[in-house]
Amino acid sequence: MGGTQSLGLPHGKGPHAVGCTDVMVGQNQKGLFFRLFYPCVSQEGAEQPFWIPRYEYYCGLADYMNMNRKWCAPLLSVTFGSCRIPVSWDAPLKPSKNKYPLIIFSHGLGAFRTVYSSVCAEMASRGFLVMALEHRDHSASATYFCKLEPEASDFPEAPVQEEWLSYRGVPKDQKEFRFRNPQLHQRANECIRGLKLIRNIKAGKAAVNLLHTDFDLSLLKDNVDLSRLAVMGHSFGGATAILALVKEAQFKCAVALDAWMFPLENSLYPKVTKPVLFVNTETFQTADSLAKMKKICSMNEETKLITILGTVHQSQTDFTFLAGNLVNRVFQTRGTINPYEGLDITNRAALAFLQKHLQLKEDFDQWGGLLEGVGDAVIPDGPLQKSSL
């Protein structure tokens, strides 16, 4: 059989070793659940977390793909069950005199907090804290929250009960926009809640992580720079990032990876006055969607739109590396470009953009040409131009 089966997730290319931990706060659906990627103290022989954290997510992916859980979940588990993320689980945070800028990351439809580990780990290796949310609007293929047994509320160590939320498609009797737009607002509000949590930690309030990891959240107090704050996301998460940028004054800029523009209401476009970087893949965007991006581009000359040639919608997720040939053929997880090269372009463009708009003193401006669509496999604007050549 020709070609590699699966490639393995890339390691971060920056100077920092990367750690990650999971955080869940609040004992109801209105709490917050995320994976934190961060620069860590290098650990010899540290545990690397599994890419798919629990079996329930395989069931959720089966639901999202409209497949029978009975055979699909075990098949996904065999395919991906041994995949690990090349980061150190629960490693100590590396203290920083300059403090780390923060990126809040929003996942796409049917995804969850670990599906963008390649992008998140790369950003952390470059000196960012990355809060990869797991949204509770029923757009994740699966997620859960913890609730205390009512009689156990007097005991802080009492066992918590998990309640799982499954993926929901658009009901047959409902217009898609009417279903997706409220989800979008919930997602943007969850991004803002993530920021509020960090604000509270910086103000010295204790955050209780229900998941009892070894990571000390209070260390974030002196190591996060909330004047350097960006929001980022893929697909539905790209639209979420744009809405969060409008809703929350503290977000300086947004990086929208192959944004799904459909759920954004038209009245929002004139309000997107802060810089956005649109990094599109070659095959996903429609003319209508690109027209919406152009409207946003007209609001600020620092807003940029580029397309990476040879990429597909999944090229900006971990699936592009981990799906073998069969899965790739069925689900189009890989384009014609080398997956590592495609993701490098995405990451470098994002880093150059973040350096500019968060005023970072790094060398990411070496990739500034990408923001103008200059470079191999990248063009300015959308892919539709090519047909007119």
What does the pLDDT read at residue 323? 74
CATH architecture group of domain 17-49+84-388:
3-Layer(aba) Sandwich (3.40)
- Provide the residue-wise pLDDT of the chain in tens; the chain has 389 residues: 334 456 789 999 999 999 999 999 998 889 999 999 999 999 888 999 999 999 999 999 999 999 999 999 999 999 899 999 999 999 999 999 999 999 999 999 999 999 999 999 999 999 999 999 999 999 999 999 998 766 655 665 666 789 999 999 999 999 999 999 999 999 999 999 999 999 999 999 999 999 989 999 999 999 999 999 999 999 999 999 999 999 999 999 999 999 999 999 999 999 999 999 999 999 999 999 999 999 999 999 999 999 999 998 998 999 999 876 666 666 677 888 999 999 999 999 999 999 999 999 999 999 999 999 999 999 998 765 443 33
What does the pLDDT read at residue 249? 97
- Work out whether strand 276-281 and strand 100-106 pair parallel, antiparallel, or are unpaired: unpaired
Q: Nearest to residue 306, comparing CAs of 378, 230, 255?
A: 378
What does the pLDDT read at residue 250? 98
Catalytic residue among 118, 235, 289, 315: 235
d(CA 230, CA 131): 11
Structure tokens at 171: 């009901």
Where helices occur in 99-173 by DSSP H, the ranges are 117-125
Q: What is the pTM of this model?
A: 0.94
H or E element: which one contains 58?
helix 55-64
Active site residue 77: no
Active site residue 258: yes
Q: Cβ of 363: how many Cβ atoms within 10 Å?
A: 11
Catalytic residue among 22, 63, 258, 344: 258
Phi/psi at 39 (nearest 5 deg)?
A: -65, 130
d(CA 247, CA 249): 7
**Do 146 and 39 form a contact (C-beta atoms < 8 A)?**
no
- Work out whether strand 17-25 and strand 129-133 pair parallel, antiparallel, or are unpaired: unpaired
- Phi-psi category of 65—alpha, beta or left, where left has phi over 0 and alpha has psi -120 to 50? alpha
What does the pLDDT read at residue 5? 56
